[in-house]
Structure 1
């Protein structure tokens, strides 16, 4: 596959989008990946590099309607008028009943970072439900990209905990009453990671009485964003 085609930026005229977001996409050969992007106030008039949060939505927001990715998570907060001090990149999974294309996400990150003022030591990864699984998988495949990982109510392949570096900050959120993805998915993974004596020690927040919508309290909590922004990518280990 031609690398130039993979990194080709597309201008996408989507109707009905609010002014808080820009749109874009990359050509992946047979397919493409579209996204919304939010730039913080001052980005256009500043020369500085900005932190980047890559947010991966859940299964209900996939397809070809970018309006759907505003339903939950930090994009919902931006659509409601909230301002963040970081760039928020929200791609859309083109599959309504399929998993995220993690290879395509890697190409998207390469392309976006190359064309924008991103502080590559402050790139953060988060996602909910099916996007939470994708966040785990992307961090396992390319952990050197990220300064912190924050999955929310996502399934996780516990046996691959060895692929999470000991120096990657991790904060996981889940609801006790989740009957779609059992909270043991998150609890067991955190226990595995803590046995590795990670530094910093992984964080786990379990919301009592909350079902699969743990993303509501998680992404409405300012502490999550403060925690992410406090992290810096660790230097490569020997």
Structure 2
């Protein structure tokens, strides 16, 4: 009987040890290794109206075809901030939420030409205030982190026009506490006094040189201010000659590659691949 008890505890110990080893292995491979993610053959793009949950924004969520709440894999996430023309209150007018689909990644998803190198969740909130507010954005991002299976080492944010300003404002306000790994603001601008908060967060800005709505100097001044504080990675800016306010379509779809001003940072790889090259260390995850 005594031998049986000893044997039982030995087996129990080995089982617990193996389980802990597996969990540790998952955290280093399946959870964070992009190559272990299942291919995306066309996922689900679902709408979530304002007021459905404790979140400050209504939003669209794209879940890749391999995404499964019951699996262990954790997905990179792209948060897309729209421009002023797509604002709307979906609590009062549910149909307004579809405005999000007219530009950027949500449009690409709807048109069937969304194909980043590795599958990503795409979350597109809808602003119903005058502009994107940093405090609401932080609450929203933390809600999304809690709700979805997200690789917190790979949280990316991009936006156009008002959304470009939103990107600069959100990361500029919260810095490392924003949870953001890398940011791509398009035809936007920000507060140069907040440059220090971009020290550990790579930035790649885009702007049309003939933009009469948002002066390209607004993007330029932000990138110059960030680079003055010697960030961990030099901030980049790509400018398109003879292009007006809509510098987002050719940036998101990659058709602007090779058409940039040769005196600025080159556009030789799509922005989603650039984002995915950046990953926080586990110790940097808030």
Fold-level similarity (TM above 0.5): yes
1:191, CA displacement in angstroms?
1.3
Residue 198 (structure 1) aligned with residue 231 (structure 2): yes
Aligned positions of 1:69-108 closer than 5 A = 69-84=100-115, 85-95=119-129, 98-108=130-140
- TM-score after normalising by structure 2: 0.70
Aligned residues: 216
1:31-71: CA deviation from partner (whole Å, max 9, x where unpaired): 94200000112002743000011100000000131111111
Q: In terms of mean alpha carbon deviation, does 142-151 or 42-51 score higher?
A: 42-51
Alignment counterpart, residue 141 of structure 2, candidates 109, 133, 154: 109
Segments of structure 1 that go 5 or more residues without pairing to the other structure are 1-18
Alignment match, 1:38: 62
Alpha-carbon distance in structure 2 between the residues aligned to 1:236 and 1:220: 31
Segments of structure 2 that go 5 or more residues without pairing to the other structure are 1-42, 90-95, 255-268
Aligned positions of 1:52-67 closer than 5 A = 52-64=77-89, 65-67=96-98
Alignment counterpart, residue 276 of structure 2, candidates 189, 204, 229: 229
**Counterparts in 2 of 1:39 and 1:136: CA distance versus 1, 3 Å:** same
1:169, CA displacement in angstroms?
0.8
Q: In terms of mean alpha carbon deviation, does 31-40 or 169-178 score higher?
A: 31-40
**Counterparts in 2 of 1:89 and 1:210: CA distance versus 1, 3 Å:** same
Alpha-carbon distance in structure 2 between the residues aligned to 1:142 and 1:233: 16
Name the Cα RMSD after superposition.
Answer: 2.3
Contact residue 20 and residue 78 of structure 1 kept, 8 A = no
- TM-score after normalising by structure 1: 0.83
Alpha-carbon distance in structure 1 between the residues aligned to 2:50 and 2:74: 22
Larger Rg: 2
